Every structure is written in C-alpha cells, then in structure tokens.
Structure 1
Amino acid sequence: MINENLAHYSNLFIALALVAYAFAFFAYCGEWAFGSRSRIGAKAAAVGRSGQARTAAAAAPEDAVASVGASGVSVLTRTVQEGEEPTVAGGSLRAEIVGRFAVMATFIGFLLHASGVLCRGLAAQRVPWANMYEFSCAAALAMAFAYLVLLVTGRKARWLGLPVSFIVLLTLGLAYTVLYTDAEELVPALHSYWLYIHVTAAVLSTGAFGVATIATVLYLVKAAAEDGRLPRLGGVLERVPSSGALDRTAYRVIAFIFPLWTFAVIAGAIWAQKAWGRYWGWDPKETWSFIVWVIYAAYLHARATHGWKGRAAAWIALAAFVCVMFNYFGVNTLLTGKHSYAGL
C-alpha cells in the first residue's frame, strides 16, 4: 500500500533539494570568479622573485647580499608556511564568504535530498532504489555525501564543490524530469533483504566512483596545463591542487571504495542464487558489473605492482567509469535481462 502523502513530500523535498543545489552551484561559480590566484601560484612567483634576487645579489656588494638573502629566506618561509595546496578563494575575502555559503547550500541540499529519498522509501515501505529514478536519486545523494565527508574530515576538497554540485544537480534534475516514476510496490523477485545489502553497496560505490572520476578528469587537464600542452586558462587551473595531488585523491577514493564494489558483486551473486537458483548466469547486468570490477582491479594492480601513475592509470580509471555508466544507463535501457527494473 503506497502512502500518497509521503510520496508527495518526497517529490517536494527533491524539488527543494534541486533549488538548494542550484544555489550551491552558482555560489561555487562565484567563488571561482572572485577568487585570486592560488597559493601555489604565489609560491612559484615568490620563488622566481627570490631567484632573481640571488642573481642580482651575485653582482652586488657584500652587505647588499646579506640583506637580499634574508629577504629571500623570509619570503620563502612565509610561502611554505602557507601550505602547498591551493584554495579556490585564494586570498579574496569575498570569495571565501561565497565559498562558505556554497558549502552551506550544499549541506542544506543534502539534507533535503536525504529527506526526499527517505520519504520515498517510507511511502513505498521498502528501500528507495528499486528503479532508475530512485537509483539516480540515491547515487546523487551518495556523491554529495562523499564530497561532504571529504570536507568534514579536514581534506582541502572545496575545489571539488563546483564539479560535484554540477553533476549532482544534473543527475537529480534528469531523474526528476525524465526518469521519474510514481512510487509503487516491488516486483516479486525483489522481495528480499538482499535488496538492502546489494543495492546499497552499489549505490555508495557508484557515488564514490563519480567523485574519483572528477578528480581524474581534473588531473588530466591539470597535467596537460603543467606540461604546456594546454593553456592555463587565465590562472583558473592554478586554483585546484597539483596534478600529483589530484592523482592521489582519485587513487585513494578508488582504493577505498573498490572493496565495497567487490562486496556488491558477491552479494548480487548470492541473491541471484536465492532468487533464480544460480549464482551467475552472465546476465547483461552481471556481465557489466564484472567488467567494471576487472577494470578497476587492473587499475589498482597496475598502480600497486608496476608503480603506474599519471595519464596511463587515469585513462584506465576513466574507462572503468564509462563502464559504470553503461552498466546503469545502457544495460537498463538498451539490453534485456533479469535485471530489467528500470521502471521507464
């Protein structure tokens, strides 16, 4: 029996979450627009100035050398104390205020979003991820959650706010306008406690893989700019961490969440045995879930045993996430199998 009132409140909360995420996205845009050059840029400039000072000091009197040397050490000490990683706001107070508002709007959007997902589950008296609309809402929620966790744990991750808010806004908007279906009861095959276990693990993994992919894409762009293969876009790219830091962020997120994806695949196989009498039948969803697992496993193996870093590893990670997206959209809409629960 569907509770129509709770279903209505779910839709309302999701709509309000979209508004809050929109405010957050535009606030992050404002932070990037108002922010000054990054601390990395300032440090590079300071090092350059100190180098020029040393060159000039070589031809200067001895007493002048002492003065310039002390000044150069002072500048370098201050820049090192400021930290290696950049902030999007840089030294701009206005950008800092806008950035904090963006984080607050993201947190409010997350609470509204979570309330919408919760009300959907209570309305249908089941877990709220049984079709593409519900899974999209839950995956977007997981991505926002992963970003907020990085912020709360002290990571300097506000640079992720702009792409994360955009993707969450896009995913939730498409779910609300294109993929939406009314709350309804489960099909018989989904009546199992494994729905709570298997799909929850898949939802959390998908959201975290999305955050890692954002870091990977930014790494490729940043590395190309550092190598001179791309323009620096007026200093915009200098406001994100160095390419090495981006590469490490993507790797750590993938390494952390890969065991959960592994568990999701195993839990799915156990559920398949209980529902259909076999652990594995190479159903399209099973096949593509396994492909995703193999590619991410290859990524982690290459980094752990062969020391792969940089562009080669990044392209493997991107290929894996493309398979994640096809496993969700392509398999659900283009292929048929026992996992055809798109609800479209």
Structure 2
Amino acid sequence: MTERSDVLPQHELLQEKSWIKKLTVSDWLFAAVVLAAAVAAQIAVPHHMDGYETAILWASAAVAVALGWFHKPLRWFMLGTAAAAALAVWLYAGDIARAGDQISAATGKAQGKFLLRYFLSSQSAIMWQCALTVLAFAAYTFGALAAWRVHKRRPDAPSGNIVLNLGTQLAWAGAFAGFTGLLVRWHESYLLRPDAGHIPVSNLYEVFILFMVITALMYLYYEKKFSMQKLGGFVYGLMCVLAGFVLWYSASRGAHQIQPLIPALQSWWMKIHVPANFIGYGAFGMAAMFGVAQLLALRGSRFLPDAAQIEEAMYKAIAVGFLFFTIATILGALWAADAWGRYWSWDPKETWAFIVWLNYAVWLHMRLVAGWRGKVLAWWAIIGLFITAFAFVGVNMFLSGLHSYGQL
C-alpha cells in the first residue's frame, strides 16, 4: 500500500515541539531551586502570612519559573538577588544595628558589618543602584558616540563596541542592586517593627526604586531581542532622572526611613496591585524613550536602528504595559471594593488612571486598526509619558482624594 501523494505538508509552526518538550535539564533545575526557596520561605515565616499571602508566595514562585524559562538571563538575576538578600538576612542576625556605624566603647571598632554598611543594607544597595544607573547612562552614551564615529568612517563596521557592552553590564548591575535593596528593605521593616513589617511598595520612594528596576529589566530584554544597544542612552537618560529624584527625596525628605503602613495600605491587595501597575509604568516610560529615538531615526539618522524596528519595539512595550496596567486597574477596583465598599468613585487618582488607560487604548487602536505609523505615534508615546507622570506623581502633588497618602 503506497502513501498518498496529495497530503499537504504541515506548516513549520505546527511541526514545532510543544514548549514543555523544549525544556532542558537546566530549566528544570532552575524550577526546582525556585520551588525549594518557596518551601523555605513557607517554613521560615508562616507567622507573617495568611492564606492570601501564601497564595501570592506560590503564584510568585510560578511566575519566577515562567520568567526564567522565557528569558534565561533573568534566572541568574533572580537567584543572585535572592542569594544576596539571604546573605544580608544572615548578617543582620535579627539586629538592625548591624548595618550602623556606631563605635563600640569596648573595642573601639564599628559595630556594624562591613558588607551591610557598604553594600547589602537596603539604603546602601539603593545608592549603588543610583550610581550604577548614571554609569550605565555614561557608558551607553559614550559607546554610541564611539560607534557613530566609526560608522562615519566605515559604514559597514560592526555597530557594537566594548563600551556599549559595559553599559549593558552596568545596567544589569544597577537592576541587581535595586532589587536586592528592595528585598533587604522588606526584611528590615520586620526588624524595626516585628508586628508591622511590610512589602516595600508603600510610598513614592519605594515605588520609584521598583519603577527603576522594572524599567531596566524590560529594556535589557528588548535590547537583546531587537539588538538595540544604541538606544540605551535614551532609556537611561530617563533612568537618571528617576535616580536623581530618589536621591533628592531621600536627602530632603528622609524618605529612605522605613515607616509603618497607614491603615489604608494594610492589605494583601497591595502586593499584587502595585507591581502590576509599575510594569505598566515602566513599559510606558521605555516606549516614550523609544519614541524619541524613532523621531531621530525618521529625520534620516542611519546610525540608529531602522525607524520601523524602533516602532515595533515601542508597540510591543506599549502592548505589554497596557496589559499589565489593565490588570492593575481591575485589581485596584477590587481593592477599593474591599476597602471602601465600592469599585469606583472617580477619585482623582482613579480618574487619571482611566485617562492613562484610555490614552494607550486609543494608541493601540490607531496602530492596529487604523494602520497609523511613524511620527504621529512616536510623538503620541512621548506625550503619553507626561500623562502617565501626572497620574503617577502630579495627582499626589496637586490633587487630593482617597489616595492622598502618596503625597510628596
């Protein structure tokens, strides 16, 4: 019996193995390490978690595994920051004074641990994040200028160089320091107030750190996916503004001091609403910087990546940001119903969150349905950053309402 000759071959996408069959031994080993860490956390701190928070812990572990499988550099980032935070917890040994610089009367030496005082305490790690952010911006900028000079002499020369690569490494190091600082700050809150410790996303200082970490990680993913190291200077220009705010806010307002949660924020909803919100904010901020680069590319700069490629990255960033901002808005409505008895009250923060959501919804509609391309979308993404910034900070500064606890 002969085979039928009229059977059509399958499309190449249908011939691919399922994602589960593509996983390697290292993928499963990473998953095992993450799950073991979750078990250790469950055993070590059950007195700090209710049923909802236990569910968040295991959902976070599942998300961490998925992210590590999706983008392999993230697995080393997550395991490394967890190890650094664990080292800090061990060095503290239950005593917050170990990060201080008080001099012992008996020995004449500083009582604090060297690694804690200069590297691993939350404030030290966050200061390192700010410094590394500025250094990454300098490396990306000077690396791009050096590549531009080579490009003028030899248009066919490779676009990368060692300084741009250094910028990438500094960007990873800055994100590492910032996320480590947040994890350690979480532990420090319990050392200061065992009955009032909390996840560090409760005020503008803490969420700005989170904003910087998320923006950095998202940019590093897009940088690798689209081979766009030359756009690092644009994104890290924005990051330097954020770092400057963190330094100013810490020095002038003492915002780095850990404060107890106000009653409105004493909810497990905060642990999922705020991170989802800032994935959206980080994506929108990065998309605006891509918009600036696209405008330059459209003016004829052959040195930057192709304008269409930049726009594709900008579109994907806004699409991801819109998804997570939508999730955050839904979670915020559920939190409001739990706390205040109603899902929506047209509070200034809620109103401006809706304006942000509507702005990017129309942006996506005009690109996907109406077919808009080019300069108008780039300018729209840039203007969208100012709308987002007002919703994020401006409302806290100039308006009052149910969310007034976030004032500067």
TM range (shorter): 0.7 to 0.9
1:342 and 1:177 map into 2 onto residues whose CA distance is: 17
2:217 partner SS: helix
List per-residue Cα deviations over 1:281-322 (Å, max 9, x = no partner). 000000000000011000111111111111222333333222
**CA shift in 2, pair 1:239/1:276, >3 Å:** same
1:331 and 1:220 map into 2 onto residues whose CA distance is: 29
1:195 and 1:175 map into 2 onto residues whose CA distance is: 21
Bigger shift: residues 117-126 or 282-291: 117-126
**CA shift in 2, pair 1:343/1:241, >3 Å:** same
| 8 Å CA contact retained: 2:288, 2:381 | yes
List per-residue Cα deviations over 1:21-57 (Å, max 9, x = no partner). 22222222221232146879967xxxxxxxxxxxxxx
The match for 1:135 is 207
Of 3, 15, 20, the residue aligned with 2:127 is 15
1:41 and 1:216 map into 2 onto residues whose CA distance is: 28
Of 277, 301, 304, the residue aligned with 1:202 is 277
The match for 1:299 is 363
The match for 2:221 is 149
Bigger shift: residues 175-184 or 328-337: 175-184
The match for 1:171 is 242
The alignment status of 1:187 with 2:262, answered yes or no, reads yes
**TM-score, structure 2 as length reference:** 0.65
2:332 partner SS: helix
List per-residue Cα deviations over 1:90-130 (Å, max 9, x = no partner). 547xx611111221111111111111122222222322111
| 8 Å CA contact retained: 1:6, 1:119 | no
| Matched-pair identity in % | 32
Q: Which has the higher contact order (CA 8 A, sep 6+)?
A: 1
| 8 Å CA contact retained: 2:282, 2:321 | no
2:99 and 2:303 map into 1 onto residues whose CA distance is: 43
* 1:160 Cα deviation after fit: 2.2
| 8 Å CA contact retained: 1:6, 1:120 | no
1:244 and 1:155 map into 2 onto residues whose CA distance is: 11
**CA shift in 2, pair 1:30/1:252, >3 Å:** same
1:341 partner SS: helix
* 1:277 Cα deviation after fit: 0.7
**TM-score, structure 1 as length reference:** 0.76
* 1:194 Cα deviation after fit: 0.8
Bigger shift: residues 172-181 or 248-257: 172-181
Aligned structure 1 segments of 4 or more residues deviating by more than 3 angstroms = 1-8, 36-43
1:109 and 1:201 map into 2 onto residues whose CA distance is: 21
Query: Which ranges of structure 1 fall in alignment gaps of 5 or more residues?
Result: 44-78, 80-89, 227-236
* 1:256 Cα deviation after fit: 2.3
Query: Which ranges of structure 2 fall in alignment gaps of 5 or more residues?
Result: 1-93, 101-116, 190-196
Of 168, 178, 200, the residue aligned with 1:103 is 168
